[in-house]
Structure 1
Amino acid sequence: MAQIFVVHPENPQSRLLQQAGELLAEGGLVAVPTDSSYAVVARLDDKDAAGRLRRLRGLDERHHLTVLCRDLAEISHFAKVDNPQYRLLKLATPGPWTFILEATKEVPRRVSHPSRKTIGIRVPDHRVALALIEAAGSPLLSTTLIPQDETLPLNDAQDIVGRYAHDLAAIVDGGSCPFEPTTVIDLTEDPPKVVRAGRGDPATLGIA
């Protein structure tokens, strides 16, 4: 059964997030609120994490998983970013965006797209999500918590308990969050291509 950690959305209790971080270190999957919807996360260095995240969502290996980073500087450790891409990322982060970029060698091959060698990258604008990354001590591998064969993400911790209590190690309950996924933009395309419409408005970044 998943452990439930109820935290304040603006000032989350570090002790509780440290416990969630320990469960991640033990190989667990953890649901956490973000600035778009709830996401399910795992440690990036966990060899089984990508497979378990995909099985939970019913995804194949061609679906991009996302690396949750603490800040813009951390992105360049995991993705190759040129000057125009950097300017766009600086404008957009933190925020409800996922950007598809070419992965660096720091990203395990089992995590990146099998043929394109790309990865999703994002910096959430949510104190609980950022605090959990900090507690874990490294960026986290994530995917939006959209139930298999459904289209809408989950944004309520009690709903997640009802659906995934036996699949997750923990659920960090930071209250309800927006009911939209991130907007996904492929920056390896020229011009950048909107892959999935979501909470972020591409027009604010100058993208049609």
Structure 2
Amino acid sequence: MSQFIKLYEENPNPKDLKQIVKILKAGGLIIYPSDTVYALGCDITNAKALEKVAQIKGVKLAKANFSFVCEDLSNLSDYVRQIDTKTFKILKRALPGPYTFILPGNNNLPSSFKKKKEVGIRVPDNEITRAIVRALGNPIVSTSIYDEDEVIEYTTDPELIFEKWQNRVDVIVDGGYGGNIPSTVIDLTGDEPILIRDGKGSPEL
């Protein structure tokens, strides 16, 4: 059964963060709050954990469109090819915020994603998320537990999330009620930004 850890955005408890990081490094899965919906995540460097996330989502890992959740833009060059000034200005203006940006991947992607030409980058405006990533020391690979077909309470209430997911993940982080609108997805791999999904963030950047 998973651990249920309450964290406060104003001041996430360092001892609890340490415990979450220990579990992530050991290949554990977590469900955690963001600035949009609750998400399922794992350590980007742990291949077994990545496989488990893909299995839960019912997709092949090589084809999965998971997001890389970063603390800030300093991780970008680890996974993204050099981007132009215009693209960087868009990122700088929008992040941290409720956006996923599709960017061209580089050759340093983790082995599980080597064949991918593009990556989705997230820098949520949520201190719990960023504190976990900061303590881990590298991004989390993430996918929302939001149900696109209908509004279901279990995707927003941490206690109901716990009831549903307690036997499938290692930690559920209670950061209070989550949202029901996913991130806005914008493709920045071409000459002009292309809106892929209209979500919480304004598509006008």
TM-score by length of 1: 0.89
Residues 49-58 or 88-97, more deviating: 49-58
Matches within 5 A, 1:171-182: 171-182=172-183
1:121 aligned partner, one-letter code:
I
Identity of aligned residues (%): 33
Q: Matched residues in 2 for 1:43 and 1:157: separation? A: 21
Rounded to whole Å, the distance in 2 between the matches of 1:151 and 1:29 is 25
Distance 1:47 1:174, change over 3 A: same
Separation (CA, whole Å) in 2 of partners of 1:198 and 1:111 = 25
Matched to 2:191, the amino acid is: D
Partners of 2:149 and 2:54 lie apart in 1 by 15
1:11 corresponds to: 11
2:99 aligned to which of 94, 97, 100:
97
Report the more deviating stretch, 136-145 or 94-103: 136-145
Q: Give the conservation status (yes or no) of the 8 Å contact 1:30–1:40.
A: yes
Superposed CA deviations along residues 21-47 of structure 1, whole A, max 9, x for unmatched, are 100011010011000111111111101
Residue 150 of structure 1 deviates from its aligned partner by 4.5
1:86 is matched with 88
The 8 Å contact of residues 187 and 196 in structure 2, kept in 1 or not, is answered as yes
| Structure 1 residues 151 and 66: CA distance shift in structure 2, 3 A | farther
**Which one is further off, 11-20 or 150-159?**
150-159
Alpha-carbon distance in structure 2 between the residues aligned to 1:145 and 1:75: 25
Secondary structure of the residue aligned to 1:141 is strand
Give the match's secondary structure for 1:195. Answer: strand
1:200 matched to which residue of 2? Answer: 201
Query: What is the number of residues matched between the two proteins?
Result: 201
**C-alpha deviations, 1:150-203, integer Å up to 9, x for none?**
455822211211111111010111111222111111111332111111100111
The gaps in structure 2 that reach 5 residues or longer are: none
Q: Deviations over 1:37-79 (max 9, x none)?
A: 1111111110123322222223344341111111112222211
8 Å Cα contact 2:37-2:146 kept in structure 1 = no
Instruction: Give the match's secondary structure for 1:202.
Output: coil
Which residue pairs with 1:107 in the alignment?
Answer: 109
Which stretches of structure 1, 4 residues or more, deviate above 6 A after TM superposition? none
Quick check: 2:43–2:139 contact (8 Å CA) kept in 1? yes
Question: 5 Å matches for 1:141-156?
Answer: 141-146=141-146, 150=149, 154-156=155-157
Indicate the residue corresponding to 1:139 in structure 2: 139
Query: How far, CA to CA, are the matches of 2:26 and 2:52 in structure 1?
Result: 14
| Cα distance in structure 2, aligned partners of 1:84 and 1:165 | 44
Letter in 2 for 1:7: L
CA contact (8 A) 1:32 1:172 kept: yes
Specify whether residues 198 and 24 from structure 1 end up closer, same or farther in structure 2 by C-alpha distance, changes over 3 A only: same
Partner of 1:166: 167
Q: Is the 8 A contact 1:101 1:187 kept in 2?
A: yes
CA contact (8 A) 1:9 1:175 kept: no
The equivalences for 1:21-60 within 5 A come to 21-60=21-60
What is the distance in 2 between the residues matched to 1:164 and 1:44?
Answer: 21
- Uncovered stretches (5+) of structure 1, i.e. residues with no partner: none
Q: Deviations over 1:77-97 (max 9, x none)?
A: 211222221111011110000
Partner Cα separation in structure 2 for residue 152 and residue 22 of structure 1: 33
- Note if contact 1:96-1:200 (Cα within 8 Å) is conserved in structure 2: yes
> Is the 2:146–2:180 Cα contact (8 Å) retained in structure 1?
no
